[in-house]
Structure 1
Amino acid sequence: MAEKRDYYEVLGIQKGATEDEIKKAFRKKARENHPDLHPDDPSYVEKFQEINEANEVLSDPEKRAKYDQFGHAGVDPNYGGADGFSGMGGFGDMGDILESIFGGFGGFGGGASRSNANAPRRGSDIQESVTINFMDACNGKKQDVKLFRMAVCESCHGTGADAGTTADICPDCQGRGSIKTTQRTPFGAISSTKPCPHCGGKGKIVKNPCAKCRGVGRVRVQKTVTVDIPAGIDDGQTIRLSGQGDCGINGGPAGDLLLNITVRNHPIFTREGYDIHCDIPVTYLDAVLGADITVPTIDGDVRYNIAEGTQNGTVFRLKGKGVKKVNRPERGNQYVKIYVEVPKNLTKKQKDLLRAFESSLTEKNYAKRQSFFEKLKEKFDF
């Protein structure tokens, strides 16, 4: 069994990388190493799986913490090559150490599951990305997603052996997939378990491998999955589809599909949580006299009356006109900011009319300005 590479090395990041850096690195590596881009090189299937495996661990804070402390043995009980405890056979062999001390007491480790190479194992999770429009994120939609996943080989039904033949039990490990070795240390003799070098840890020898899957028992297939994207989904969120990942091994359950959502920007609306924000330009006259204005919402246009003397930057709320909360009946609000557009490119006549209008006004028409100068006078004793 080949030694696993460091997950941080697989994604090309430092150990202290942030969640955002991990996500960006995974997407970059997944795009570069996608098997579709290298159809003539089967090694990219393994590279792609390695990238998915690294991301599955490092993107999960709990798994990442265990990996940072114990390496591969902290997140994979079947891993037998970790050397986190030098001279003691690795953390992954701690169950065997305790077994040798306590005579196989069942409460320690999981050595029994490690010794059974043919036990059912869950398939790997796979990740895909989909980009949707802003309005689709608000209202929800059905989206067809094409993906590649590992499926049970139809020719050999997952055995890896050619039709009419069967796999033989490995004579070295007797089908366990691992062999025990005893090492003498200053603490006494310690038993450790290592993958069987003869069968590569599989417990079986396939003398006549299936031509379609080359003895693996699984093949990579393309599949189209129809996904119900819920109303209210936001940019950067992930939808988990149970059982849509790689098929399991030895009859184990399939992994999950993790669908990463990217939402395109909207030309008018911006979103903060479940609230919608937008700016509405109004004329100088409408702001002065008040007016009924048309306000766009994600449900369509509505009419709103702005009061006489509305100031630039005034914000009003349309209750319940925001985004629906995911899997809940409540909705956010829409906040509309008034932008008073000052007219430009005036003619001489228009300017004269404005000057005449201005001369007819008094300080009472400018409440904020009057208040400002009164405060200024009090402070500096003008």
Structure 2
Amino acid sequence: MADHYEVLGVERDASPEDIKKAYRRLARQLHPDVNPSPEAAEQFKLVTHAYDVLSDADQRRAYDMGGETGSPFGGAGFGGFSDIFDTFFGGGGGSRARARSRRERGQDALVRVTLDLADVVFGAHRDLEVDTAVLCETCQGSCCQPGTAPVTCDICHGTGHIQRTVRSLIGNVVTQQPCASCQGYGTTIPYPCATCQGQGRVRSRRTVSVDIPAGVETGLRLQLPGSGEVGPAGGPNGDLYLEVTVAPHDIFSRDGDDLLATLEISMPDAVLGTTTLIDALDGPVELELRAGVQSGDVLTIKGRGVSPLRGSGRGDLRIGVHVLTPSRLDAKERALIEEFARKSKAPEPQLAQFHQGLFARLRDRFRNG
């Protein structure tokens, strides 16, 4: 008879935990379901018998004193089958998988919303219509007709699984599979709710109130935990995701937390300077134009931009100046301009650095100013 310690590959002073680990490792290699060779089957019997002896304190003590307990081919040789079950089927000798719950978490939902630029600057409140699954008001998620309840499955007796025992050369092998009668729930519903057909939920349109923070931008998704679909059998709600699209504005554009705009002024205002009112998104604001302002100059109005998504304060409103040159003059206006040109001694036209138009210059000024 082979030495049990050598069969398991452990020292004679090995702890019970070391013996158990060694047995599990060998069982995974030699079990007939994994290794069908005759040699593996014979070795598996020896490993199982060695474990039966060494895992029992009294039998191990007797074996260490020179005695032998049982045989790998006798009835006692399969006393350790509970560990085989634990190794290959995830439970102890007397354990079973639990019945699964009908209640499950609901799916997440996605809603797209289009905002104006003013909503981005200051934040907005929206009441959104969402078409999702909601709790069935008739059965309140029980899935049963009112006055009835689920009953224990008479096939699996509430376990949700069926055990099957198959005889083999090494003994009885027990497997578990979901009960086909109750689909693994352990209960059946003899009288399903007529409103939801036994699902515990129905589809419906509902209103979700959302406070959208300032500073959002196109493509951003806001998460509203617990505002998605209710789960089967009244399970917890999933989440609602709000995907933002910001509509273009006729006048203003956004650059980070700043707002950009172009101000068209007359040539006399550019020469002499003036003060004007700018219609910002949150009301009029006074802007002073110095005398001699040039096309492409960028004027900044502090604190009239976008509120950041995280943090405090606001960005700036940056105004790019565009001086309008008159294209139609009457004789008197032309004479005045000519007189001005003679007295101002304006320089002759000359080449300067190439620019891709006024708006390219404004863009560069916006970025660098």
Give the TM interval when normalised to the shorter protein. 0.5 to 0.7
Instruction: Tell me which residue corresponds to 2:151.
Output: 168
Pairing 1:159–2:142 present: yes
Distance 1:239 1:103, change over 3 A: closer
CA gap of 1:182–1:123, structure 2 versus 1, over 3 A, is farther
The one of 133, 152, 161 equivalent to 1:150 is 133
Q: Evaluate the alpha carbon distance shift between residue 120 and residue 205 of structure 1 in structure 2; reply closer, same or farther with a 3 A threshold.
A: closer
Q: Which amino acid aligns with 1:332?
A: G
Q: 2:242 aligns with which of 259, 265, 268?
A: 259
Cα 1:321–1:202 shift into 2, 3 Å: same
Instruction: Give, in whole Å, the separation in 1 of the partners of 2:308 and 2:149.
Output: 54
Taking the aligned partners of 2:284 and 2:85, their CA distance within structure 1 comes to 71
Q: Deviations over 1:229-250 (max 9, x none)?
A: 2233333322222222112345
Matched, 1:217 2:200: yes
Tell me the residue number matched to 2:327: 344
Which residue is 1:233 aligned to? 216
Contact 1:117 1:175 in 2 (8 A): no
1:308 maps to a residue whose letter is A
Q: Which amino acid aligns with 2:250?
A: P
Question: 1:306 aligned to 2:289?
Answer: yes
For structure 1, which segment, 242-251 or 330-339, has the greater mean C-alpha deviation from structure 2 after superposition?
Answer: 242-251
Q: What does residue 109 of structure 2 align with?
A: 126
Alignment of structure 1 residues 102-117 onto 2, 5 Å? 104=91, 115-117=98-100
Whole-Å separation in 1 of the counterparts to 2:340 and 2:319? 30
Partner residue of 2:270?
Answer: 287
Normalising by the residue count of structure 1, what TM-score does the alignment of the two structures yield? 0.59
Question: How far off is 1:371 after superposition?
Answer: 8.2
Output the aligned Cα RMSD.
3.8
How far apart in 2 are the matches of 1:182 and 1:289?
Answer: 101
Task: Tell me what 1:362 maps to.
Answer: 345
Q: Distance in 2 between matches of 1:313 and 1:102?
A: 77
Measure how far apart 1:128 and its partner are: 1.6
For residues 246 and 178 of structure 1, do their structure 2 counterparts lie closer, same or farther at Cα, with a shift above 3 Å needed?
farther
How does 1:1-382 map onto structure 2 within 5 Å? 100-101=87-88, 104=91, 115-118=98-101, 120-171=103-154, 175=158, 197-249=180-232, 252-326=235-309, 328-362=311-345
Deviates more, 1:156-165 or 1:116-125: 116-125
CA distance 1:205–1:268, change in 2 (3 Å): same
Kept after mapping to 2: 8 A contact 1:133/1:264: yes
CA displacement 1:63-95 (0-9 Å, x = unmatched): xxxxxxxxxxxxxxxxxxxxxxxxx9xxxxxxx
Is the 8 Å Cα contact of residues 276 and 322 (structure 1) preserved in structure 2? yes
Distance change in 2, residues 1:292/1:159 (3 Å): same
Contact 1:100-1:191 at 8 Å conserved across structures: no
Q: Which residue of 1 aligns with 2:68?
A: none
Structure-2 separation of matches of 1:191 and 1:295: 83
Output the CA distance in 2 between the equivalents of 1:357 and 1:179: 103
Structure 1 residues 147 and 370: alpha-carbon distance in aligned structure 2, compared to 1, 3 A threshold: closer
Are the counterparts in 2 of residues 118 and 250 from structure 1 also a CA contact under 8 Å? no
SS state at 2:344 partner: coil
How far apart in 1 are the matches of 2:277 and 2:213? 29
C-alpha distance in 1 between matches for 2:148 and 2:193 = 9
Give 1:210 shift.
0.9
The one-character-per-residue Cα deviations of 1:19-73 (angstroms, maximum 9, x if unpaired) are: xxxxxxxxxxxxxxxxxxxxxxxxxxxxxxxxxxxxxxxxxxxxxxxxxxxxxxx
Q: CA deviation at 1:220?
A: 1.8
Q: CA deviation at 1:260?
A: 2.1
Residue segments in structure 2 that go unaligned for 5+ positions in a row: 1-33, 35-83, 167-172, 354-369
Q: Equivalent residue for 1:380?
A: none
Deviations 1:248-272 (A, max 9, x none): 3456422122122233222111112
- Secondary structure at 1:235 match in 2: coil
Q: Secondary structure at the match of 1:225?
A: strand
* Residues 182 and 278 of structure 1, relative CA distance in 2, 3 Å threshold: farther
List runs of 5+ in structure 1 lacking aligned partners.
1-87, 89-96, 106-111, 184-189, 373-382
Change in 2 beyond 3 A, CA 1:267/1:99: farther
